Copies of this chain bind each other. A is one copy, B any other.
Amino acid sequence: MRLNDLDERIVHALAEDARRSYADIGAEVGLSAPAVKRRVDRLLAAGAITGFTVRVDPAALGWETEAFVEIYCRHNTSPEDIRRGLTRYPEVAAASTVTGEADALVQIYASDVRHFERVLERIAGEPFVERTKSVLVLSPLLRRYSAGSPT
């Protein structure tokens, strides 16, 4: 699917505030409310927009500790196995399979380092996990966009 300029501006408006009314967005981009809704529906159907979510401040929610964990899996582990295994942890914010030595890269939020340690132990104990390698985030420098989940 190709997005034209209007679609981009609608997506941009929604990215800033996904609860704005269609009429409001329409006024900004020069369309009527129903026209905006039709385009949003089309973007949803095409999968360009995969949903609506909240932007949260992890610190304010008590998630003080952020970490990236590389996971090295046993052979014959499918991406779907990894996904299923990780979905059960609410601390897992994002996960992808990657090139290089590790099989997957996982982003984790925990309330503190001890909490992270417990989560890491449990993940390391998953049957498909051979070993892990973690780095802790010291300070977030920059954060933009919100990539979609392949639900």
Identify the A interface with B (CB < 8 A).
1-3, 8, 11-12, 14-19, 46-58, 60-62, 66, 68, 79, 82-83, 86-87, 90, 92-100, 102, 104-105, 109, 135-151
On chain B, the residues within 8 Å of A50 by CB distance are: 55-57
Q: Are A146 and B146 in contact (CB under 8 A)?
A: yes
In the complex, are the beta carbons of A19 and B94 less than 8 A apart? no
Can you add 10 more A-B contacts, CB < 8 Å, to A50-B55, A93-B143?
A2-B62, A15-B53, A19-B52, A49-B54, A53-B54, A68-B68, A83-B142, A96-B139, A98-B137, A144-B151
Taken together, the copies of this chain in the complex come to 2
Cβ contacts under 8 Å, A98 to chain B: 68, 135-138
A49 to B18, CA, bound (A): 13
Q: Bound state CA distance, A129 and B15, in angstroms?
A: 28
* Contact yes or no, B145 A93, CB < 8 A: yes
Give the 10 A-B CB pairs with smallest separation, nearest first: A143-B148, A48-B60, A143-B149, A18-B52, A146-B146, A83-B141, A97-B138, A55-B148, A98-B135, A100-B135
Q: Which of B60, B136, B141 contacts A82 (CB 8 A)?
A: B141
Q: Are A145 and B47 in contact (CB under 8 A)?
A: no
Residue pair A49, B53 in contact (C-beta under 8 Å): no
Residue contact B19 to A66, C-beta cutoff 8 Å: no
